[in-house]
Amino acid sequence: MLHSIRLSVEEKVDILVVGAGSAGCCAALAAAQNGRYSVMLIERYGFPGGSSTQMLDTFYGFFTPGETPRKIVGGWPDQVVDALDAVGAVFLRPNTYGAGTGVNYNPERLKAIWDLLLARQGVRYRLHTTLIDVVGENEGYSCIVWSKAGFGKISARRVIDASGDADFSHLAGFGYEVAGEKEPAQSMTTTFRMSNVDLGVYEQAGGKKMLMQRMNEAVAAGRHALPRKEGSAHEMNARKCISTVAVKVAGFSGLEADALTSAEIEGRRQAFVYEKFFQQEVPGYEAADIIGLSHQIGVRETRRVYGQSRLTKEDCMSATIGADSILLCGAPIEDHRATPGGGTETHWEYIPGTGIYGVPYGCIVPEGSATAWVVGRCFSATHDAHASCRSMAQTMSMGQAAGFAASQSLELDESAAQLSVRSLRNTLYENGAVLEIPVSVADISRGGWANNKH
């Protein structure tokens, strides 16, 4: 393809990060930290954050679930939350079950925070730019991108694939598993936000317990055809607004445009079924309306690259932290499955023992790679391990590790596969990452991040 297109621009950078989701932004921030290398971050949409700003408002994975929560993530992910905290755009949602305590933020503010942090680190950050092809070079890759100006070529000595769908790895010829190939792929969700909710009335009427009961009654009586009688409808960091993760769309590929079109249409249809239910059946929602649907349908998994290591369910359930770990995870397996009858269910499985496991460095190195890494929801994991290790505190941590690794590999002239993981872990430690089980239980009832609730 490279030969048949006219290039409007050709550029060279040391490190290119593809995709400005939670993983890609943290990768670029870490890669640019020492200021030695030119770092470029490209993103196909007009704003940063990926799922973190397109459809969500809660970082899970900072804290382990259960009665004795521990904070197991630090470094750049902390700096992101600190920056949100500084503008009053974050509060904690304590929770002992589910995925544990959530760090709830204002997603529109988060877009501006990502902008600010990237600018401060001197990242060359380019929106409205889509990776469409890749050609291997002696050292690194030529990445062909498309924007309104036409086609461009970015030659990079190191590349971090943070595209969520492993677009770079696919185009560069690395191996991967497509979700649905072995186990059923997780379902998709169009999230939506409602305004003018009277949360006082809602809580007085019984809150979440009441909501679940009303859902069951409404479906049983045939009043509302809700596709799922569970999910999260939670307070946002914006007055009288709630955010909802309830829609479930199963059985569509997240990689094919026709299938994605059908999924988007179905997701929107379901969202308005929920709106009517909320307005008619849930105290506090009588005058509430949907004010925003997710920018696109939320796709939980598509391509998962085969890495030097592969995180498996057994690794998660062994609750061990190896000497090659680059981040920790304590989130349960949360598998949003399709059921044979056409419905969906969520399967939960908690990590036993310490409740915490380590993710090996090899899970972010595509098999056979010398100069590329893969982070975020397309990292190397089996379906069920991925269902545990996909929360944003973990995707940000993977990004941070890959950013430091790319910078280290240039500095020490190491290949991705041969990189000294000991040095990388030292850098991670020095920069606040958590790589061992914290001795003390996190106090989530007070402290900076908890104070900004409206």
Q: What is the binding site for ligand FAD (CB under 6 A)? A: 18-24, 42-45, 50-52, 55-56, 58-61, 130-131, 162-165, 167, 189, 191, 245, 298-300, 376-377, 390-392, 395
Least CB distance to ligand FAD at residue 246 (A): 10
DSSP for 294-330 reads -SS-B---SEEE-BSS-B-HHHHHHT---TTEEEEE-
Helix (H, G, I), strand (E, B) or coil at 405: helix
Least CB distance to ligand FAD at residue 369 (A): 18
Q: Which is nearer to ligand FAD, 190 or 409 (CB)?
A: 190
Least CB distance to ligand FAD at residue 446 (A): 22
Distance CA 402, CA 407 (A): 9
Residue 55, Cβ neighbours under 10 Å: how many?
24
Q: Which is nearer to ligand FAD, 82 or 217 (CB)?
A: 82
Distance CA 148, CA 127 (A): 11
Least CB distance to ligand FAD at residue 94 (A): 15
Least CB distance to ligand FAD at residue 346 (A): 11
Q: Which is nearer to ligand FAD, 188 or 450 (CB)?
A: 188
The residues that bridge with 359 in the sheet, in sequence order, are: 327
DSSP for 139-207 reads SSEEEEEEETTEEEEEEEEEEEE-SSS-HHHHHHT--EEETTSSSPPPPBB--EEEES--HHHHHHTTH
Q: Which is nearer to ligand FAD, 20 or 40 (CB)?
A: 20
Q: Which is nearer to ligand FAD, 100 or 360 (CB)?
A: 100
Least CB distance to ligand FAD at residue 20 (A): 5
Distance CA 111, CA 432 (A): 23
Distance CA 248, CA 338 (A): 9
Least CB distance to ligand FAD at residue 86 (A): 21
Q: Which is nearer to ligand FAD, 385 or 392 (CB)?
A: 392
How far, in Å, are 16, 18, 240, 414 from residue 154 at the CA level? 8, 11, 45, 22
DSSP for 61-129 reads SSB-SSSS--B---SHHHHHHHHHHHTT-EEEE--SSTT-SEEEE-HHHHHHHHHHHHHHTT-EEE-S-
Query: Residues 374, 169: contact at Cβ < 8 Å?
Result: yes
Residue 187, Cβ neighbours under 10 Å: how many?
26
Q: Which is nearer to ligand FAD, 27 or 435 (CB)?
A: 27
Q: Which is nearer to ligand FAD, 300 or 310 (CB)?
A: 300
Q: Which is nearer to ligand FAD, 394 or 427 (CB)?
A: 394
Instruction: Tell me whether strands 372-374 and 150-161 are parallel, antiparallel or unpaired.
Output: parallel
Least CB distance to ligand FAD at residue 133 (A): 10
Q: Which is nearer to ligand FAD, 23 or 416 (CB)?
A: 23
Least CB distance to ligand FAD at residue 232 (A): 7
Distance CA 63, CA 250 (A): 29
Least CB distance to ligand FAD at residue 150 (A): 16
Helix (H, G, I), strand (E, B) or coil at 209: helix
Compute φ and ψ for 13, nearest 5 degrees: -135, 165
Query: Residues 438, 67: contact at Cβ < 8 Å?
Result: no
